[in-house]
C-alpha cells in the first residue's frame, strides 16, 4: 500500500513539515514565547518556547503521520481499506499541521487571522467528518480504520450496518461543525463527540444483542 502511494506519502510528509520551514524563514521575527494552545473562542491559554514551536510541534506531527501511514499499511486486513480512505489518512495530519501552523504564526506575528483558532478547528473537524462519513461505509472490516468494536470485528453484517449509520452521523456532525464556524455555539464539540462515539457504539451493541437473543 505504501509503495502504491509513495508519491503521496512523500508529499504529505513534506507538507507536515511546512510549518517548520516557515518558522525558519520567520525565525528572527518570532517572539521567544509563542502561544501554542487556544480556547474555543480563540483566546491563547498555553505558551511554548520558540524552538519547541518551530521544531518540536512539526516533528511530533510528522512522527504521528508516519505512525498512521505505516500502521494502516501493515493492517492484516489492509485489503479491505479502500485507496480513498487510505488517502484521507495520508492527508489528515498534514492538514492539521498546516492549520495549526497558520493559527500559531498568525497570532505570534499579529497577522490578520480571518478565522481564528476556534473557527479553524471547527472548519477542519467539519470537513474531516463529512469526508470520513462519505467513505467509511465503503471500507470492509479492518483493525485500523473505522469503528473497531468486538461486535463489528466479529460480524461483517454488524460492521456494515454500524458504519452505514455512522456515515450519516459523521456527515450530519460535520455540517453542524461547519455551521459553528459562523455561530460559535459552545455545546457543539461535546454534542459531536457524544454523537459520533456513543450512537454507533450503542447501535452496534444492540445489533449484537438482538442477534444473540
* Cα gap 118→139, rounded to integer Å: 31
Residue 177, pLDDT above cutoff 90: yes
The model's pLDDT over 140-176, given as tens digits with 9 standing for 90+, comes to 898 888 899 999 999 999 999 999 999 999 999 999 9
pLDDT band at 76 (very low <50, low <70, confident <90, very high): confident
Integer Cα distance of 186 and 76 in angstroms: 41
Residue with cell 503521496: 8
Give the pLDDT band (50/70/90) at residue 208.
very high
pLDDT in tens, 14-69: 999 999 999 999 999 999 999 998 876 667 888 899 999 999 999 999 999 999 99
Which residues partner with 37 through β-bridges?
46
The length of the chain in residues reads 213
Sequence-distant (6+) residues with CB within 8 A of 180 are 122, 126, 188
CA of residue 76 relative to chain centroid, distance: 23
Distance CA 152, CA 200 (A): 10
Q: In angstroms, what is the C-alpha Rg of the chain?
A: 19
Q: Is the pLDDT of residue 74 over 80?
A: yes
Domain segments of the chain as ranges: 1-113, 116-213
Please give the share of the chain, as a percent, with pLDDT higher than 90. 57
Task: Average the pLDDT over 115-132 and give the result.
Answer: 84
Residue 40: predicted pLDDT: 67
pLDDT band at 113 (very low <50, low <70, confident <90, very high): low
Q: How confident is the model at residue 114 (pLDDT cuts 50, 70, 90)?
A: low
The reported pLDDT for the residue numbered 130 is 93
Cα–Cα dist 2/12, whole Å: 13
For residue 200, what pLDDT band results from cuts at 50, 70 and 90? very high
Whether the pLDDT of residue 213 is over 80: the answer is no
Number of Cβ atoms within 10 Å of the Cβ of 169 = 19
Contact 144, 81 (CB under 8 A): yes
Residue with cell 514551536: 53
Grid cell in block for residue 22: 516557515
Contacts of residue 128, defined as CB under 8 A and 6 or more positions apart, other chains included, come to: 92, 95, 174
Segment 2-9 shows an average pLDDT of 86
Q: Check pLDDT > 80 for residue 2.
A: no
Amino acid at each position: 500500500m505504501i509503495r502504491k502511494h509513495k508519491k503521496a506519502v512523500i508529499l504529505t510528509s513534506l507538507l507536515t513539515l511546512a510549518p517548520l520551514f516557515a518558522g525558519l524563514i520567520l525565525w528572527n521575527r518570532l517572539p521567544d514565547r509563542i502561544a501554542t494552545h487556544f480556547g474555543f473562542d480563540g483566546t491563547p491559554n498555553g505558551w511554548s518556547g520558540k524552538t519547541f514551536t518551530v521544531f518540536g510541534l512539526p516533528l511530533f506531527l510528522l512522527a504521528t503521520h508516519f505512525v498512521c501511514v505505516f500502521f494502516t499499511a501493515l493492517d492484516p486486513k489492509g485489503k479491505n481499506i479502500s485507496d480513498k480512505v487510505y488517502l484521507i489518512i495520508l492527508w489528515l495530519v498534514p492538514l492539521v499541521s498546516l492549520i495549526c501552523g497558520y493559527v500559531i504564526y498568525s497570532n505570534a506575528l499579529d497577522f490578520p487571522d480571518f478565522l481564528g483558532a476556534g473557527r479553524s478547528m471547527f472548519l477542519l473537524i467539519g470537513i474531516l467528518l463529512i469526508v470520513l462519513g462519505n467513505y467509511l461505509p465503503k471500507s470492509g472490516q479492518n483493525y485500523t480504520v473505522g469503528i473497531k468494536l468486538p461486535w463489528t470485528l466479529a460480524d461483517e453484517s454488524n460492521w456494515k450496518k454500524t458504519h452505514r449509520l455512522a456515515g450519516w452521523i459523521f456527515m450530519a456532525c460535520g455540517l453542524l461543525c461547519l455551521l459553528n464556524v459562523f455561530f460559535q455555539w459552545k455545546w457543539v464539540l461535546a454534542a459531536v463527540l457524544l454523537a459520533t462515539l456513543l450512537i454507533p457504539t450503542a447501535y452496534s451493541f444492540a445489533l449484537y444483542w438482538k442477534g444473540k437473543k
